[in-house]
Chain A
Amino acid sequence: MTPMTKTLFYRLFAIVTLLVANFAHAQLRVEIAGVGANLIPIAIAGFDGESSAPQQISAIIKADLSRSGYFRIIDTGNVMTENTPVDYANWKSQGANAIVVGSVSRLPDGRFDVRYRLFDTVRETQLSSLSLASQPQFLRIVGHKIADDIYQKLLGVPGAFATRIAYVTKAGREYHLEIADSDGQGVQIALRSNEPIISPAWSPDGTKLAYVSFEKRKPIVYIQDLLSGRRTVLADFKGSNSAPAWSPDGRRLAIALSRSGLTQIYLINADGSGLQRLTHSGGIDTEPQFSSDGQSIYFTSDRGGGPQIYRMSVNGGNVQRVTFDGSYNVSPRISPDGKSLAYISRRDGKFQLYLLDLTNNQEIRLSDNADTNDESPSFAPNGRYLLYSTSDGGQGALAVVSVDGSVRQRLSMQAADVEEPTWGPFMK
């Protein structure tokens, strides 16, 4: 090597090392802490040709399905293409109720063509097939989409693997608003700041985040377009501006403002125009959340003394109290079907995740144990899981729990607190 190429080599090496180090630091570590009682046994073959692609599709599908807590993976030990004749009796005898086969091939334009088939070994029929062409950098999403399809065909509910989550990390004085795939992979930083960031909220189309940033030494609500990075100020009124929540049509947001003195709920158009006050209480009204039909807003209010969850119509009328058990109930999140309400309740001095069935008023505790302080619940777009932040006094981490409490995962990050998570919508 000449001295010059040697220098260049070391410089490149240094850059690559730096990139890898950054990436490794930012990684969310996922641990599976619990699975459901009845697991569907499913055989997943290696996809023909996947070793030549940058992502191993079958490995992504296996990881998604086992993490979901509803499947038991049976390794086939060999590669099968989607055109290999399926020996149903053989797979049934190995205990598999279903089998997944597929192939990956490079197209002349550089994209990859991923094909897959799902078979029911008991009824000896094909349940589904897909053919998805993708740029190499989006192959992980293709794997998640196939896992979503398998989940839907076998459980009758859409999967939520091909979705993203947003959360805030805090390491020393540095705050990041980050976006990751639902499996914690593919972390990207949307905002870096030396002041706190709270309350990120996905636009219904998944292209934007509204959030509260303290970078101007007071809470101000911003909307950021994720692809372009362009930011607009949604609300910067006198006092504090916070708690953004999108309406299901994405045209306006409910926010909490203190411009009148106490914190009250307002509606505002997504471009910052058309401010309209919704609540007129003598106390605190905050944490608004639209129901998925857009007709109701759930919120936290201390109008009755301690904080409780209330519901009102979208024009501010017809206010009804929703929670009655416990003296401190906050952070309401309504399920996509509108039938259950997740919230944080203080019980025996700890802040815990609860789920209230609105059809029969039965509540269940979803926190892993009675010693953690939990916050910021959000539903997966399929309504099957809740994502929340949890702390046992040490470093803050994220947790996922199925709405029946049986399936549990924990997502943590080395040397950083992870807080304020929110699960994004289905991707178009």
Chain B
Amino acid sequence: MRTLTSVLILSSAMLLAACSSTKLNNDKAPVVDHSGANAGTVSTVNAASTDPLNDPNGVLAKRSVYFDFNSYTVKPEYQSLLENHAKYLESHPNRKITIQGNTDERGSAEYNLALGQKRAEAVRKSLALLGVSDSQMEAVSFGKEKPKAQGHDEAAWAQNRRADIVY
């Protein structure tokens, strides 16, 4: 028992010695010259940018999945987009998304609502397969009621065959 106590005292003394030596080294560190051209500049830290969701140039800024005419399958080119959102949602379990399905203007309002739902549901299933919890997602449809492009041609319709991920 006595041996153990003396060992502890010895190690404490060594720790103290280590600390004091560090302090001495710091004192000897060269002084930085602040008189140059960089004096007074400040690096801005943007608090919001710590959440990658708010980075307008980040991978999460892409939130739309486009569909072919009469199609409700997510094309392979959107796999990485969905993976990025899945990763984010898994690491942010308090975040929730709505997936909003849309269609072009042709046909009945109610049938289009169901088609838009099919698109939102396809995106929801893809995200679920990537591990996103069901409680973080709701798939809804706007049908043809909220077109992004207002035209009446194929270019406009292609823009409106779409599901959006909305946080």
- Residues of A at the B interface (CB closer than 8 Å) are 196, 198-199, 212, 214, 217-219, 238-240, 242-243, 256, 258, 261-263, 284, 286-287, 300, 307, 328, 330-331, 344, 346, 351, 373, 375-376, 393, 419-420
Residue of B117, B141, B143, B146 contacting most chain A CB atoms (<10 Å): B117
Docked-complex contact A284 and B115, CB < 8 angstroms: yes
B108 CB–A CB distance under 8 Å: yes
Cα A62 to Cα B138 with chains together (Å): 55
B111 near A307: Cβ-Cβ < 8 Å: yes
- Which residues on B sit within 8 Å (CB–CB) of A373? 106
B112 to chain A, nearest CB (A): 9
Give the docked Cα–Cα distance between A365 and B117 (Å): 30
Closest to B115 in A: A284
- Asked if A242 contacts B110 (CB within 8 A), the reply is yes
Q: Taking the complex as formed, is B145 at the interface, i.e. its CB lies under 8 A from any CB of chain A?
A: yes
B81 within 8 A of A: no
A354 to chain B, nearest CB (A): 13
A330 and B107 contacting across the interface, CB-CB below 8 Å: yes
State whether the Cβ of B162 lies closer than 8 Å to any Cβ in chain A. Answer: no
Q: Are A286 and B121 closer than 8 Å at their CB atoms?
A: no
Within the complex, which residue of B111, B141, B142 is in contact with A258, where a contact is CB–CB below 8 Å? B141
Whether B152 sits at the interface, judged by CB under 8 Å, is: yes
**Chain A residues whose C-beta falls within 8 Å of the C-beta of B14 in the assembled complex:** none
Q: Are B140 and A240 in contact (CB under 8 A)?
A: yes
Question: A218-B98, A219-B141, A258-B141 in contact; A240/B117 too (CB < 8 A)?
Answer: yes
CB–CB A199/B110 < 8 A: yes
Residues on B with C-beta less than 8 A from A212 are 113
Given contacts A258-B141, A300-B108, 19 further A-B contacts (CB under 8 A): A196-B142, A196-B146, A198-B113, A199-B109, A212-B113, A218-B98, A240-B140, A258-B114, A258-B139, A261-B121, A263-B113, A263-B114, A263-B118, A284-B117, A286-B111, A300-B111, A328-B107, A351-B106, A419-B109
- Give the distance to chain B from A45, nearest Cβ to Cβ, in Å: 46
Residues of B within 8 A of A198 (CB): 109-110, 113, 143, 145
A286 to B111, CA, bound (A): 7
Establish whether residues B110 and A287, one from each chain, have CB atoms under 8 Å apart when the complex forms: yes
